[in-house]
Structure 1
Amino acid sequence: MQTLMPNDAPIGPGRPKDLAKREAILEAAKALFLSLGYANTSMDAVATAAGVSKLTVYSHFTDKQTLFGSAVMATCQNQLPELMFELPAGVPIDQVLLNIARNFHALISSDESVKLSRLIMALGSQDPGFGQYFYEAGPKLILAEMEALLRNAAERGLLAIGSPLRAAEHFFCLIKGAPDYRLLLGCAPPLVGAEAEAHVREVVELFVRAYAP
């Protein structure tokens, strides 16, 4: 009896087997990039860790840079799905912002995110263009979603915002703040529990007051 790889699945509508392999490749790539660094991670190693052939890796991702960018995007989207940036009718704006703030804070405070940020900083000294690539693959997409939400809120009179993009930058910078800086430096552990909740609530209250109609 043939033994199936863990990422194999029955072939059917939507090609779930291919989707499962893609997810396995992304998970393997994230683990290797964070443990070995970008330069020391090969497509061969990713294929072995994912339990697929090297040809399969290349069929899903053209090259290592594309694979890295896809891994970054997947990490961001898993924590902050696009639906979270919607503004449902009747839901208070502060509740929508608080939900985003909680999830964004959890994202940047995760061990995976901290390692990724440190990796990007290290890569920047080797190739200045790599930081731009990372920015476009992750943070820029999140900013665009937040900008669209804040523009919608301004058009509906929920907030008074002249520059939605600038306001989105302010929001995320406030969430990161000094706690994230200390975390990246290794000077302090991430905020958790009541401390994390108090931090995000304070930021949302400050943001809403600053942009109140």
Structure 2
Amino acid sequence: MRSDAVAATGGAGRPEKRKAITRAATAVFGREGYVRASMDAIAAEAGVSKRTVYNHFADKETLFLSVALQNSAELTEAMRELMDKHLDRVVDLRQGLTDFAVERARAVLSAGDRGALGRAIRAEVANIPADVLEAWLEAGPIASQRDLAQRFEAIADRGLLAVDDAPQTAEQFTLLTFHGVAERSFWGALPVADEELARIAALGVDAFLRIHRVPAVR
């Protein structure tokens, strides 16, 4: 995998230079896209020489994968923290699911340069090397959905949800509570009012619970 190459490069130079380069690369890739972005532009954004960039990263593909994985992993960790907060010890299931859906949408839509990088990846999917795309998906969207499936299994074990297929249940929840907001905002490029986030989340959670709520015992 290309990620092995990322781990093996970039040992030379000072850590603060590497951080400056990855921050700059996130901004430039998000603004220009993968194809148009150049190592010259990234060096200028970081305030370093192009030689310094190459001292840390062998080529543009390696740098792109590095920042894509870093940003994807950071967003995945943020999603885990929201799941911990709202889903681990849920008492009011509808409220917990709704609060999680609202905060997840808010976090993704306000992700700044990280969000712009995600939009660039989606827009240029045909131009991004397949192994880079696969690694980004695994570190981010796939990992988050896997985490959500595990939370739903745990909630089902408590008798609060009817779950036959946890990954499918997680996918349904995301489709009902998040993807409409993501598409409307063009994945964070346009703002969505908090009131609208709450409305969409509540409607989606109600639809989700009509499918997966455990029937009341009579």
The TM-score with structure 1 as length reference comes to 0.71
SS in 1 for 2:34: coil
Question: Percent same amino acid at aligned positions?
Answer: 27
Task: Describe the superposition over 1:61-118 as per-residue Cα deviations: whole angstroms up to 9, x where unpaired.
Answer: 99224223224315524652x2322344363333332232112212443465664454
The Cα of 1:138 is off from its aligned counterpart by 1.6
- The aligned runs of 1:1-213 (5 Å cut-off) are 18=15, 23-43=19-39, 45-51=41-47, 53-54=52-53, 57-58=56-57, 63-74=62-73, 76-77=75-76, 79-80=78-79, 82-86=80-84, 87-89=87-89, 91-110=91-110, 112=113, 115-127=116-128, 129=130, 131-184=133-186, 189-213=190-214
The Cα of 1:197 is off from its aligned counterpart by 1.2
The Cα of 1:32 is off from its aligned counterpart by 0.6
Q: Which residue type is aligned with residue 198 of structure 1? A: R
Name the CA shift for 1:97/1:65 in 2 (closer, same or farther; >3 Å).
same
The Cα of 1:205 is off from its aligned counterpart by 2.5
Equivalenced residue count is 193
Question: Unaligned stretches of 5+ in structure 2?
Answer: 1-13
Q: Distance in 2 between matches of 1:56 and 1:123?
A: 27
Q: Distance in 2 between matches of 1:134 and 1:127?
A: 11
Q: Give the 4+ runs in structure 1 shifted more than 6 A.
A: none
Query: For the Cα contact (< 8 Å) 1:26–1:70, is it kept in 2?
Result: no
Query: For the Cα contact (< 8 Å) 2:102–2:201, is it kept in 1?
Result: yes
Name the CA shift for 1:179/1:70 in 2 (closer, same or farther; >3 Å).
closer
Q: Distance in 2 between matches of 1:90 and 1:127?
A: 40
Larger relative contact order, structure 1 or 2 (CA cutoff 8 Å, min sep 6): 2
Query: For the Cα contact (< 8 Å) 1:70–1:137, is it kept in 2?
Result: yes
Name the CA shift for 1:99/1:46 in 2 (closer, same or farther; >3 Å).
farther
Name the CA shift for 1:202/1:126 in 2 (closer, same or farther; >3 Å).
same
Q: Distance in 2 between matches of 1:185 and 1:160?
A: 30
Q: Distance in 1 between matches of 2:194 and 2:173?
A: 21
Question: Unaligned stretches of 5+ in structure 1?
Answer: 1-16
Query: For the Cα contact (< 8 Å) 2:82–2:103, is it kept in 1?
Result: no
Q: Distance in 2 between matches of 1:22 and 1:201?
A: 43
Query: For the Cα contact (< 8 Å) 1:120–1:134, is it kept in 2?
Result: no
